[in-house]
Structure 1
Amino acid sequence: MNQSHASTSSQGPRDTEGAQAGAAGPAKWLAIVALIYLLLVAVGTIGSGFKWASGGAEGAERLFAFATNPFMGLLMGSLGTALVQSSSTVTSVIVGLVAGGLPVSTAIPMIMGANIGTTVTNTLVSLGHIGEKSEFRRAFSAATVHDFFNLMAVVIFLPLEMATGLLEKIALWLSEIMTGSANLDTGSFNLLKAATKPVSSSIRDILSGIPEPFGGILMILIGILLIFFSIYYMGKLLKQVMVGRAKAMLHAAIGRGPVAGVFSGTVVTVLVQSSSTTTSLAVPLAGSGVFGLKEIYPFTLGANIGTTITALLAATAISGGNAVFAMEIALVHMLYNTFAVFLIYSVPFLRNIPLVGAQKLADLAAERKALAIGYIVFVFFVIPLICVGISMLF
């Protein structure tokens, strides 16, 4: 009898822990769904706030007149992403601004800049290997190959876009198909908008006593804070429930050819909702010598494609006249990253430029460690700040 009681007692805590562990999974997934809802609310809040602050489309154009220079928009996107270390956050904010009236043509260079700024995270991760020269050389080259690729993509596609508007035209055509028409009936039913509008409307009602444009500006700031909160905690929860599977997929796919590498990089990034996390998982594997630079390279490119899912998700919450444009800028992000991967990686000469650049920079950084830190500070922060400052002065 005592033995039976002891056995029951000893198993009780384990059973309780198992039940708690089983309950933790659904609880985390419910929290993730709630955070996705909060992200959609935040994007709608930014759009409403921007309309309020700018007084409509004409006001929006005046408000962002300084960013109509594509180079300025590129720098803003790059600097903003480097500061918050999340391209998902920045692109979601841009979708909200376009929903509020920011011209798509002004937003496109910002989207391209966000791709550059997001690479700072895995470059910082590579500094963890700085103590051992050969290990640091491998890790730093695996991190900066992403930098060189995204810079190349901008060099190719920004002038092409300025000359032809290719991405904007294709994205507009696709967004009209997806949303129904370029002139959506503002009264048409949108399930996501119906679910999120009461919250954003309540925020505006609370702020209604604040004079224009300060009420709108405050509403934009609230929306940005909600995006930060939702993406940060959604990323943390997704890492807890998915990173183990992501690592397994990474190990299984890397080294099995470029197509498998790109595909797995895309899928892993969709699962964890963070290209920074995906590429940061790969850097230590390169540093330790488990995989070479040429094997890590396509996986990193897949992360570029996978990260576009957040902006597409954010755009689904928008309805009314600007819904087509919100979806358009999200599609521009997806098309830009996808076209860049296919064009650059399919042409041997272009494909090798990021590899050679990353290897040479890593060789220099391994010999002079201060160069690595200086590279991060100047490329991602000092140079963009100086350029933005000069542009605003003149």
Structure 2
Amino acid sequence: MEKAIVLVVGILSTALVQSSSTTTSIIVGLVAGGLPVRIAVPMIMGSNIGTSITNGIVSLRFVGKKEEFKQAFAASTVLDLFNLLAMLIFFPLEILFHPLERLSTASADLFLGDSDLSMDQFDLVGAMTRPLRNLIRSATGFLPEPFNGIVQILIGIALVFLTVQLMGKLLKLLMVGRAKDILQTALGRGPITGILAGIFVTILVQSSSATTSLMIPLAGSGVLGLNVIYPFTLGANIGTTVTSLLAATSVTGERALPALEIAKVHLFFNLLGVLVIFGIPFLRLLSVIGTERLATAASENKLIAFVYLIGVFFVIPLLLLGLSLLF
């Protein structure tokens, strides 16, 4: 029950901020602060689901045109159904056998080794943020504990939100034209190329929400079909894990290993999800068929689209959270 609550919290928090990059970076910070990796794993899964709401919101711009809305809504929900299916497969397995945690622990140990190597040598983010971090600590130093720490956390979260928002605006100005050129030339060459293009573009913009949202207008206008968009969004799912890996490089000391472990859980969850679901024809088609039927129903009755978005990302998670607190 505890892990189900954490999963729901991951969905809600990411749906509210509309950025899995923000949520996973915060999760890495929580693990670095002492949260057990095993507890944080379901939150990572939930963040994958919650981030898809941005695509659905973008697709609503086509709501006045039936056929265009059908294509746009299908493109926006294919990642939803994929992530839900991945959660249904891996969440029970993780509760019973902890494969993601074990795999991430083994690979993190291999990366760090038994030598004197530590994450201090890979502290890329820390080197850039240390002056601001020290300034915040100095400014809040007059407050008694634990209030100084609480204020620092609130300032840190606010800065994360502000940074993601500003970065998104800047990257749209700098990258949107280039990203569209990449899409036009690369996506029609097969699913593997589409996945690789999704990874590459998302690493550039550091946001799967921004990357996949670029696809919705192209889908609505009929430029790209669902068979092309599907693998690209899966690549975006993998590419967004770079953010949490970068966040883990800023953690030093004894909590460096757990921080790297949870970042790798994010990577392995998305990577194995693509290998298992997209690699098995039945599972691959399940997401497509479900998406097409949902998009057809939503184009016939626009209320279904609104009910779906509000229900999947807010109502159902809140109900589950409420029931868990009651019982």
Question: Could you say which TM-score interval applies, normalised by the shorter chain?
Answer: over 0.9
* Fraction of identical pairs, as percent: 54
| Cα deviations by residue, 1:85-138 (Å, 9 ceiling, x for unpaired) | 000000000011111001101111000000000000011111111111111111
Measure, in 2, the Cα distance between the counterparts of 1:312 and 1:334.
8
Alignment partner of 1:255: what SS? Answer: helix
The match for 1:50 is none
Provide closer, same or farther for how the CA distance between residues 197 and 393 of structure 1 changes in structure 2, counting only shifts above 3 A. Answer: farther
- Structure 2 counterpart of 1:154: 87
> 1:104: which partner in 2?
37
Residues 55-104 of structure 1, C-alpha deviation per residue, up to 9 Å, x if partnerless?
xxxxxxxxxxxxx7111111101100000000000000001111100110
Find the residue that maps to 1:290 and give its secondary structure.
coil
1:282 alignment partner, one of 185, 201, 215:
215
Does structure 2 retain, via aligned residues, the 8 Å contact 1:182–1:321? Answer: no
Equivalenced residue count is 326
Instruction: Please give the alpha-carbon distance, in whole angstroms, between the structure 1 residues aligned to 2:67 and 2:118.
Output: 61
| Alignment partner, residue 99 of structure 2 | 166
Per the normalisation by structure 1, the TM-score is 0.78
Question: How far did 1:155 drift?
Answer: 0.4
Partner of 1:215: 148
Aligned to 1:299: 232
2-structure distance, mates of 1:263, 1:153: 20
8 Å Cα contact 1:183-1:321 kept in structure 2: no
Q: What stretches of structure 1 of length at least 5 have no aligned partner?
A: 1-67
| Paired letter, 2:14 | T
The reply on whether 1:342 has 2:275 as its aligned counterpart is yes
Match of 2:291 in 1: 358
1:371 aligns with 2:287: no
Q: Distance in 2 between matches of 1:182 and 1:168?
A: 22
Query: 1:145 maps to which residue?
Result: 78
What TM-score do you get using the length of structure 2 for normalisation? 0.94
Instruction: Give the Cα–Cα distance (whole angstroms) in 2 for the partners of residues 389 and 302 of structure 1.
Output: 34
Q: Partners of 1:131 and 1:185 in 2: how far apart?
A: 55
Name the Cα RMSD after superposition: 2.0
Q: CA distance change for structure 1 residues 202 and 182 in 2, over 3 Å: closer, same or farther?
A: farther
Q: Where does residue 121 of structure 1 map in the other structure?
A: 54
Does the aligned pair in 2 maintain the 1:176–1:182 contact within 8 Å? no
Q: Is the 8 A contact 2:123 2:249 kept in 1?
A: no
Tell me, in whole angstroms, the C-alpha distance in 2 between the residues paired with 1:185 and 1:148: 39
Give secondary structure in 2 for the equivalent of 1:291: coil
Matches within 5 A, 1:3-42: none
Stretches (4+) displaced over 6 A: 182-186
Q: In 2 relative to 1, CA 182–378 (structure 1 residues): closer, same or farther, beyond 3 Å?
A: farther
Q: 1:185 to 1:303 in 2, by over 3 A?
A: closer
